[in-house]
Structure 1
């Protein structure tokens, strides 16, 4: 019988909410002068930057867990419809809203920037499609390699890629220099460790979960140490960029992912709110950006402004996604929503079919 992987619902929901919160903090910084409390909010924002990497991790984890080293028939057609088509429509909308085009040429330039140059949050879909290709091309070889060694190597590789962008001067060569620009976000190099981690945890899921409690102390200590290191890197001024393309992000996200799985080995229940947000996570991710920077100042205090922005973005995104999905083609425009009810989940949970 079909089982549900509880940690995925938690990951989707928390990642989705974290992305909205990250952008709510960003837009609040635009509107307030916060020399003192600003550090606190920036650190809070920094610690949420596991969100997008974990979102792409989920795609490979589920693929490896469900299909091992293959994919089902019609897989790419389904993904092109459910991910590719919304990618196009959302970027067409964002190109108009944020590009402020004065004519058709301006609009085409804006669409080009959004869709092919990493101009907005939708770039994660391009990463996911690259993961699908990597899975088809290399998964059969990965199973013959040492998972721990390959995962460590991939974390080092991704970290070095982000380090290169910070410490190596952009070359004059046009064919190479794009790796230092926003287009570099869209290539899998900096995200490779999340693909490798997703593949191995998904492929060896049962063995992984049966032994993860044995490593509880190293995971907890490692997560705490890496978190402190990330905060120190920012507070010391060494890494002041607050986004998911930092040198320390791959190891930080890896530890946060391991922490999620460790916690899920003790706690498999999923509350109704988490399941609800998980069902709407893709649409929230796509739609919130239309609002987050355009709501204006909602309160005189930056923290309340951040919270109100966050709440309204969630409410607006869920409402639009719900209405659009009442129509046959709506899911291809704003992203589909999950149809798993809490009653269905709870029934499986009571039957012991939640892992």
Structure 2
């Protein structure tokens, strides 16, 4: 049954910030490659600072994925309609195939001076079958839809919230720890592409995010009330988890800067809780953030293509001003270019199947007070 109350400004804020965080992360990543920044090249301070900033931005992709379940869980608390999966498969799996095809062309041209048809087919197969590109998150989101049905119909009715959260977070951490702490590629059966697929695509790699989003969405009003009481502890938790992430990275215990780290789970959840709490206090969401939220799906899918274009056109002579200018231009071009293309594609029939649909604007929602009154639901305990 669909809940008449909608997540309004909290999700606009979270989605837009997650989206912009992803673009900034990729702008910095592209700058490192473009200017060949490394300690061996004599730029020891600059890449270290960039990596630190990127570490603090690692919440972006998990937050984007988290939001998808929180909204579903709040909207469909006790079940989903019969056409639930069919509608979502169209706008999740088809864009996955489209992006896999398009990005395979870009990838081959980046890695090979003289591309061949065989190389294109090989790259396409990797993208389609092993999600060897940024579009893997679409498969994660679709798995969340399946998990939501399972949790709503069976798990939440048979097990307590506490038990489910402890087991799912524990399983998530242990699963990721295998990839984070063990050099699996050095083992006899270690294959980079298989290991990468298992590290990021199976639902267990994101199960903690899902279960927390599931229960926060089902009990959204109680969740908001709890945050109001515990926000100081949440802020302290985020500071400690961020420090732990940076220490583990600097110590070389987990030196990869990517979101599939078990310590990122705790950091991200804390960041989400803080953002939800303070966005709830806003009387009005800035128009620019609403627009970014509406086009976030397209921005996420198209950002890498613009990064490639900017890196092909920009001079590669390193200096700090050139680096900063590159990041600003890459960021702006990716955001505004993605919005423009998404807008144009949504004007044609099959366009949304490539970059997704444009989201609703906040003005299309009912005022929050009216929603709360209409829903007739009181703030209660988590269940």
Same fold (TM over 0.5): yes
Q: Tell me which residue corresponds to 2:19.
A: 16
Q: Distance in 2 between matches of 1:142 and 1:317?
A: 39
TM score, norm. by length of structure 2: 0.84
- 8 A Cα contact 2:108 2:115, kept in partner: no
Name which of 72, 82, 101 aligns with 1:73. 82
SS in 1 for 2:104: helix
Equivalent residues, number: 352
The answer to whether 1:156 aligns with 2:164 is: no
Q: Tell me which residue corresponds to 2:94.
A: 85
Name which of 246, 256, 259 aligns with 1:241. 256
Name which of 246, 249, 265 aligns with 1:250. 265
Cα distance, 1:39–1:168 mapped onto 2, change above 3 Å = closer
Pairing of 1:302-321 with structure 2 (within 5 A):
302-321=323-342
Deviations 1:220-271 (A, max 9, x none): 1111111121122223332221010113111111211221222234235211
Q: Tell me which residue corresponds to 2:136.
A: 123
Q: Tell me which residue corresponds to 1:27.
A: 30
TM score, norm. by length of structure 1: 0.90
The answer to whether 1:43 aligns with 2:64 is: no
Q: Distance in 2 between matches of 1:162 and 1:320?
A: 36
- 8 A Cα contact 1:14 1:51, kept in partner: yes
**Structure 2: gaps (5+ residues):** 38-42, 376-383
The answer to whether 1:289 aligns with 2:304 is: yes
CA offset at residue 172 of structure 1?
Answer: 4.0
CA offset at residue 107 of structure 1?
Answer: 2.3
Q: Distance in 2 between matches of 1:177 and 1:153?
A: 29
Name which of 343, 354, 357 aligns with 1:336. 357
Q: Distance in 2 between matches of 1:352 and 1:40?
A: 45
Q: Distance in 2 between matches of 1:134 and 1:351?
A: 31
Q: Distance in 1 between matches of 2:369 and 2:315?
A: 43
SS in 1 for 2:143: helix
Q: Tell me which residue corresponds to 1:5.
A: 8
Cα distance, 1:143–1:59 mapped onto 2, change above 3 Å = farther
- 8 A Cα contact 2:241 2:267, kept in partner: yes
- 8 A Cα contact 1:24 1:306, kept in partner: yes
Q: Tell me which residue corresponds to 1:280.
A: 295
- 8 A Cα contact 2:5 2:75, kept in partner: no
Q: Distance in 1 between matches of 2:23 and 2:192?
A: 31
Pairing of 1:213-228 with structure 2 (within 5 A):
213-228=228-243
